[in-house]
Amino acid sequence: MPVAAVIGAQWGDEGKGKIVDMLAEKARYVVRFSGGDNAGHTVVNPLGEFKLRLTPSGIFYPSTISIIGNGVVLNPAVLLSEIEELNSRKVDTSRLYISDRAHLIMPYHIVIDGIEEDSLGDKAIGTTRKGIGPAYVDKVARTGIRAGDLLDKEVLRERLTPALEHKNKIITKVFGKKALSFDEIYSQYCEYADRLSPLICDTTVMLAAALDRNESILLEGAQGVLLDPDFGTYPYGTSSSPMAGNACLGSGLGPNQINHFLGVFKAFQTRVGAGPMPTELKDEIGDAIREYGQEYGTVTRRPRRCGWFDAVAARLSKRVNGFTSVAITRLDVLDKLARIKICTGYKVNGETIENFPASSAILEKCQPVYEELPGWEKPTGNIRIYKELPPKAQRYVKRLEEIIGCPSSLISVGKRREQTIVRKSIF
Ligand code: GDP
Ligand code: IMO
Ligand code: MG
């Protein structure tokens, strides 16, 4: 029963897209299980460079079936334009399916996301403004509209009528903005329904049949653990769970049906959006990492905040996800540095702590405690065998493994599919 989940282990953008594209060669199914088009997963393979927002990163293999799982919030307009772009670049999307239980992002979610961010002023979360948070709010408030509702336009009308009435009250009476038109939204979503209906089905039935046939399944996470509503830097995070546990809930598999949890860590730390980041480097080293690594948001193009690897955060990530192995990505980005630091603890209120605090207010005050290792100062992008890495690079990887408490199965040394050192195969 080869089922593996790929989990972002930091603040997102760890290179999940690259790792999923590479592993998907041996997967029959690839299932996105959380987030929405706040995600930007970059894939570089012989077909070109792609920045996927909703489509699972296994779409490039002719024998792989791609599923947008129930845990995703789906903006139909974004998916349709992504499909069009993929098709125009000769990528076949005919094996893409959408869970009938996935919630839809509606125009009012996007409007409310923007209004709420603006009203927070300098306390804004720095969301992607794609309506992600408001769509998940409606899911738990039981006022959401699901992909399956597109299959019957009368049901769609019945769901949209009270939802929009309520949202328009908030938009006009609380925020003093212009109401949205029912007719416009309804006719737009009817059009989406005509185009997407053939893709919408009960994807749990497909996955159960795949398990019966012992076919391999890859579960693709979005975002990262430090953005999780429970374990991340609350409230500076996202609204769905990027965690290993949600790989089950967001796809419809049981916990005992997944046998590998791969945590993806960058060899350093980045973050987009607001919120505490104890190892952030606001100096020329941070700028150098950003420039070598081209650390700019895939979705919003915002410059990513860069810093040293945070082992305090990494240990939390390992602890609350139970990773069976880790992938260390972007090792090559550190190739030119003479000295490299790892944060092993935080100093706060005169004490040294080794566990990641729950409170963002405390985290803001934490000063990193570093250990320093020598850099290898040699290019690693062409290396495919672990033992051929410069000894100082091996030492850095070994130290990360020790400090995270988990062996590495993959080491990524470049953005292309083949720029990967496989230490232990996942499938
Ligand atoms: P994701 O959201 O986790 O899929 O990550 P993103 O695609 O948003 O950001 C990761 C960036 O790093 C992308 O530009 C990738 O092409 C790139 N990338 C992935 N792995 C490596 C690597 O090992 N080395 C380098 N230099 N770039 C990488
Ligand atoms: P991938 O899958 C990095 C961040 C946003 C913001 C916060 C909340 O590419 O790793 P949201 O729009 O989700 O309500 O924004 O979460 N964020 C991400 N940061 N990578 C992502 O996805 C992200 N998705 C959301 O920047 O700080
Ligand atoms: Mg990304």
Q: Which ligand is nearest to the CA of 20?
A: 1
* DSSP output for 3-47: EEEEEE-SSS-SSHHHHHHHHGGG-SEEEE-SB-TT--EEEEETT
Residues 398-426 have pLDDT tens digits of 999 999 999 999 999 999 999 999 999 99
**Both structure tokens of 369:** 């405690």
Our answer on whether the CB atom of 148 is closer than 6 Å to any ligand 1 atom is: no
Which amino acid appears at position 214 of this protein?
A: N
CA 297 / ligand 1 centre spacing (Å): 10
CA 23/CA 289 separation, integer angstroms: 27
b/e 291-326 (16+ beta carbons within 10 angstroms → b): ebbebebbbbeeebbbbbbbbbbbbbbbebbebbbb
Would you call 21 a catalytic residue per the annotation?
no
- Relative to the CA of 20, which ligand 1 atom is closest? 4
Strand ranges across the sheet with 200-201 = 200-201, 96-99, 65-68, 29-32, 217-220, 3-8, 260-266, 325-329, 408-412, 420-422
Q: Which ligand is nearest to the CA of 41?
A: 1
Q: Is residue 107 part of a domain?
A: yes
Task: Please report where in the chains the tokens 């850095």 appear, as a residue.
Answer: 396
CB-count burial class (<10 Å; 0-12, 13-18, 19+) for 162: exposed
CA 295 / ligand 1 centre spacing (Å): 9
Q: What is the 3-state secondary structure (H, E, C) of 245-275?
A: HHHHHCCCCCHHHCCEEEEEEECCEEECCCC
Q: Model's pTM, two decimal places?
A: 0.98
Residues 137-159 have pLDDT tens digits of 999 999 999 999 999 999 999 99
Q: Which of 268, 269, 382, 415 to mutate to test the pocket of ligand 1 (most atoms within 8 A of CB)?
A: 415
Q: Which ligand is nearest to the CA of 242?
A: 2
Number of Cβ atoms within 10 Å of the Cβ of 184 = 10
Q: Is residue 127 part of a domain?
A: yes
CA 73 / ligand 2 centre spacing (Å): 13
**Residue 145 domain boundaries:** 103-196
CA 375 / ligand 3 centre spacing (Å): 26
* DSSP output for 187-209: HHHHHHHHHHGGGEE-HHHHHHH
Q: What is the DSSP letter of 236?
A: S
CA 275 / ligand 2 centre spacing (Å): 12
Residues 287-305 have pLDDT tens digits of 999 999 999 987 778 899 9
Q: Which of 73, 127, 220 to mutate to test the pocket of ligand 2 (most atoms within 8 A of CB)?
A: 127
Our answer on whether the CB atom of 329 is closer than 6 Å to any ligand 1 atom is: yes
Select which of 21, 37, 41, 109 is catalytic: 41
CATH number at residue 192: 1.10.300.10
Give which of 67, 72, 79 is closest to 3, Cα–Cα.
67
CB-count burial class (<10 Å; 0-12, 13-18, 19+) for 177: middle
- Relative to the CA of 274, which ligand 2 atom is closest? 27
Residues 202-232 have pLDDT tens digits of 999 999 999 999 999 999 999 999 999 999 9
- Relative to the CA of 44, which ligand 1 atom is closest? 16
CA 120/CA 151 separation, integer angstroms: 37
**Both structure tokens of 52:** 């996927």
Query: Which pLDDT score is estimated for 297?
Result: 87
Residue 274 confidence class, pLDDT cut points 50, 70, 90: very high
Say how many residues make up the chain.
427
To the nearest whole number, what is the mean pLDDT of the chain? 97
**Both structure tokens of 410:** 């993959």
Question: Do the Cβ atoms of 412 and 422 come closer than 8 Å?
Answer: no
Our answer on whether the CB atom of 35 is closer than 6 Å to any ligand 1 atom is: no
Question: Do the Cβ atoms of 206 and 65 come closer than 8 Å?
Answer: yes
Query: Which pLDDT score is estimated for 299?
Result: 77
Select which of 13, 37, 113, 149 is catalytic: 13
Per the omega criterion (within 30 degrees of 0), is the bond before 407 cis? no
CA 222 / ligand 3 centre spacing (Å): 8
Residue 348 three-state SS: strand
Residues 50-72: what's their mean pLDDT? Answer: 98
**Greatest CA span in the chain, whole angstroms?**
65
Query: Which pLDDT score is estimated for 301?
Result: 86
Q: Is residue 186 part of a domain?
A: yes
Would you call 260 a catalytic residue per the annotation?
no
Query: Which pLDDT score is estimated for 1?
Result: 56
End-to-end CA distance of the chain: 10
Our answer on whether the CB atom of 40 is closer than 6 Å to any ligand 1 atom is: yes
Task: Please report where in the chains the tokens 């409007």 appear, as a residue.
Answer: 111
Our answer on whether the CB atom of 298 is closer than 6 Å to any ligand 1 atom is: yes
**Both structure tokens of 381:** 């992008």
Task: Please report where in the chains the tokens 């602890």 appear, as a residue.
Answer: 319
Give the residue whose CA is nearest to atom 12 of ligand 1.
Answer: 15
Q: How many domains does the chain have?
A: 1
Q: Is residue 108 part of a domain?
A: yes
Query: Which protein residues are within 6 Å of ligand 2, measured from CB?
Result: 8, 11-13, 35, 38-41, 125-128, 130, 132-133, 222-224, 227, 237-239, 272-273, 298
CA 124 / ligand 2 centre spacing (Å): 13
Query: Which pLDDT score is estimated for 300?
Result: 78
Q: Is residue 358 part of a domain?
A: no
Residues 6+ positions from 220 with CB-CB distance below 8 Å: 6, 16, 20, 30, 31, 32, 33, 41, 56, 57, 58
Q: Is residue 188 part of a domain?
A: yes
Q: Is residue 180 part of a domain?
A: yes
Q: Is residue 403 part of a domain?
A: no
Our answer on whether the CB atom of 270 is closer than 6 Å to any ligand 1 atom is: no
Residues 344-398 have pLDDT tens digits of 999 999 999 999 999 999 999 999 999 999 999 999 999 999 999 999 999 999 9
Residues 6+ positions from 367 with CB-CB distance below 8 Å: 278, 346, 347, 348
